[in-house]
A and B are shown apart, each in its own frame.
Chain A
Amino acid sequence: MSGIISDNVLKQSGLIKASAGGAWTFLSKSTASSSSTVSFTSGIDDTYGTYVFTFKNMHPSANQNFAFNVSIDSGSNYNVAKTTSFFRAQHLEGGHSQVFSYETGDDLAQGTGVARISNLCGTENDMNVSGYLYLFNPSSTTFVKHFMSRVNSTFTSSDATVDLHMAGYANTTSAVDAVQFSFTSGNIDAGDICLYGITT
């Protein structure tokens, strides 16, 4: 790179050389404030092959699971059938009581309700869920839509750290064009969710 191109790298304006693919592009950000849901009803289409949602300090109003659902009608309904798997590694601040297990109560088998991303996050002021979720090729009208998430959470008032892994697919050949996040009850009192597209 040289001249005007190198001058503008890392700046907020001007021209730069396009990346050679694989770069993340910021698309949008939603900040929760006692929100029952946070929905992304635009920006999810065939522009990018892969989309990533990042979760920063998702804080619930009640001890609940952070979760998501997808829509094939631009957000009118979030009720696509999903099959998921879910496992966790957990450890108490007091030591011992480690858990490393598949969580049969947190997965879905062709369920249309929300898919759990975390288990019960506590409500103490410093508690939250942070992590990410990948959604692959949501605009496909041929394949099911795979997704994978990994988050770390503070588990209820037990004061435990929990590393949570969820993956699955929306079992539809219709394009997924909207995604909604929530806690399984109560509100998202605070937290940021950002949406990125990855050029493939």
Chain B
Amino acid sequence: MSGIIAQNTANATGLIKAVAAGGAWTLLTTSTASASADISFASNIDSTYPIYLFEFINCHPSGSAVSFQVNFRDGSTAYDATKTTTKFEVYHKEDDSATSLAYATGDDIAQGTGSQRISIVGNDNDQSVSGSLYLFNPSSTTYVKHFLSRTHSYYGDAFAWSEFAAGYCNVTAAIDGVQFSFSSGNIDAGTIKLYGLGDS
């Protein structure tokens, strides 16, 4: 690099040379919900990137006190990959009357194929869930597929509610699709973005 290009590296403005072969995060797609039963990412999840990141921004349910959840597709058309997971959560009520940090035994999965809860959220107009989920090397046909999520929601009777779900899809088939939904009702509003993290 030289001249104007080098001068602007790491600056907030100006021109720089494009990163070779991708690098860093690349926005692959954005899905915006509108009374949607689910948001599915049926493409773009392949061997192009070693790590994928989903960002949830203000996902708002039609139902009250419903779980925001994820499932994975492992080669068929169904989102039903076998998973073993953990989940713990921490919350604090607005009036300071309740706090908790605990493992959530009812929310984990032991070799199940159903959806994994990653949050719980209310449906008041100002309530929603935001957060992220990392998916590691989904195209591997050797290893289980690890994922890590953290969310924060505004739930029920004024709780600040944070959940940590993690686990693996216990399959050696490639994971080629990811689906988000609420445990009942629709995703009335919200945005989910999919990014890929380059490694060259």
Contact assessment for A57 and B15 in the assembled complex, using a CB-CB cutoff below 8 Å: no
Contact assessment for A131 and B146 in the assembled complex, using a CB-CB cutoff below 8 Å: yes
Of the residues A23, A29, A161, contact of B85 by C-beta under 8 Å: A161
Contact assessment for A25 and B24 in the assembled complex, using a CB-CB cutoff below 8 Å: yes
Contact assessment for B86 and A161 in the assembled complex, using a CB-CB cutoff below 8 Å: yes
Asked if A128 is an interface residue, CB under 8 A from chain B, the answer is yes
Asked if A145 is an interface residue, CB under 8 A from chain B, the answer is no
Q: How large is the interface on A (under 10, 10 to 19, 20 to 34, 35 or more residues)?
A: 35 or more
> Per-position contact with B for A83-107: 1 when CB-CB < 8 Å, else 0?
0000001111111101110000000
Contact assessment for B166 and A160 in the assembled complex, using a CB-CB cutoff below 8 Å: no
Contact assessment for A162 and B144 in the assembled complex, using a CB-CB cutoff below 8 Å: no
Asked if A89 meets B103 with Cβ closer than 8 Å, knowing A16-B18, A161-B84, A196-B24, the reply is yes
Chain A interface SS verdict (over half): strand
Contact assessment for A12 and B166 in the assembled complex, using a CB-CB cutoff below 8 Å: no
Asked if B19 is an interface residue, CB under 8 A from chain A, the answer is yes
Contact assessment for A199 and B10 in the assembled complex, using a CB-CB cutoff below 8 Å: yes
Asked if B57 is an interface residue, CB under 8 A from chain A, the answer is no
In whole angstroms, how far apart are the Cα atoms of A16 and B103 in the complex? 46
> Per-position contact with B for A115-153: 1 when CB-CB < 8 Å, else 0?
000000000011110111000000000000000001111
Chain B contacts for A162, CB-based, 8 A: 86
Of the residues B18, B111, B143, contact of A127 by C-beta under 8 Å: B143
Of the residues B5, B143, B164, B170, contact of A89 by C-beta under 8 Å: B164
Contact assessment for A90 and B86 in the assembled complex, using a CB-CB cutoff below 8 Å: yes
Contact assessment for A152 and B140 in the assembled complex, using a CB-CB cutoff below 8 Å: no
Q: How far is the CB of B131 from chain A (nearest CB, A)?
A: 13
What is the number of contacts between chain A and chain B, taking CB atoms within 8 Å?
A: 163
Chain A contacts for B172, CB-based, 8 A: 126
- For residue A13, which residue of chain B has the nearest CB? B18
Of the residues B5, B22, B110, B134, contact of A15 by C-beta under 8 Å: B5
Contact assessment for B199 and A26 in the assembled complex, using a CB-CB cutoff below 8 Å: yes
Contact assessment for B13 and A18 in the assembled complex, using a CB-CB cutoff below 8 Å: yes
Interface residues of B in 146-194 (CB under 8 A from A): 146-148, 164, 166-168, 170, 172
Interface residues of B in 105-121 (CB under 8 A from A): 105, 108, 110-111
Contact assessment for B12 and A21 in the assembled complex, using a CB-CB cutoff below 8 Å: yes
Chain B contacts for A98, CB-based, 8 A: 86, 103, 105, 108
Contact assessment for B110 and A94 in the assembled complex, using a CB-CB cutoff below 8 Å: yes
Q: How far is the CB of B24 from chain A (nearest CB, A)?
A: 4
Interface residues of A in 59-112 (CB under 8 A from B): 59, 89-96, 98-100
Q: How far is the CB of B99 from chain A (nearest CB, A)?
A: 16
Contact assessment for A91 and B144 in the assembled complex, using a CB-CB cutoff below 8 Å: no
Of the residues B13, B16, B143, B164, contact of A57 by C-beta under 8 Å: B143
- For residue B20, which residue of chain A has the nearest CB? A12
Question: Taking each of A16, A25, A56, which has the highest tally of chain B beta carbons within 10 Å of its own beta carbon?
Answer: A56
**Across the A-B interface, the 4 shortest Cβ-Cβ residue pairs:** A100-B103, A163-B166, A95-B110, A26-B23
List 20 contacting pairs A-B, 8 Å CB cutoff, sorted by A. A9-B18, A12-B21, A13-B18, A13-B20, A14-B18, A15-B5, A17-B13, A18-B11, A25-B24, A29-B199, A57-B136, A89-B103, A91-B84, A98-B103, A126-B172, A128-B143, A152-B166, A152-B167, A161-B86, A192-B50
